[in-house]
Amino acid sequence: MKTKSGAKKRFTLTGTGKVKRKHAYKSHILTKKTTKRKRNLTYSTTVDKSDEANVKAMLRS
């Protein structure tokens, strides 16, 4: 089975096996968002436990 190319671009695995992702809502219409909100959207976070199995399945090659 091939890796989903959309998932390949959006997710990375950490050393402990968790899935890292970026925050949404940071690409456009930034003028109305506060500096604090934009700054907090910059950092990465992990995928929720309930979605982790689906994302890992998409990343499996």
DSSP label at 19?
A: E
Q: Which residues pair with 19 in a beta bridge?
A: 13
**What is the residue type of 37?**
R
pTM of the model: 0.83
Contacts with 49 (C-beta within 8 Å, 6 or more apart), sequence order = none
Q: Are 12 and 44 in contact, with CB atoms under 8 Å apart?
A: no
Mean pLDDT, each 10-residue run in order, the chain (61 residues): 94 96 96 98 97 96 73
pLDDT of residue 17: 95
* CATH number assigned to the domain covering 5-59: 4.10.410.60
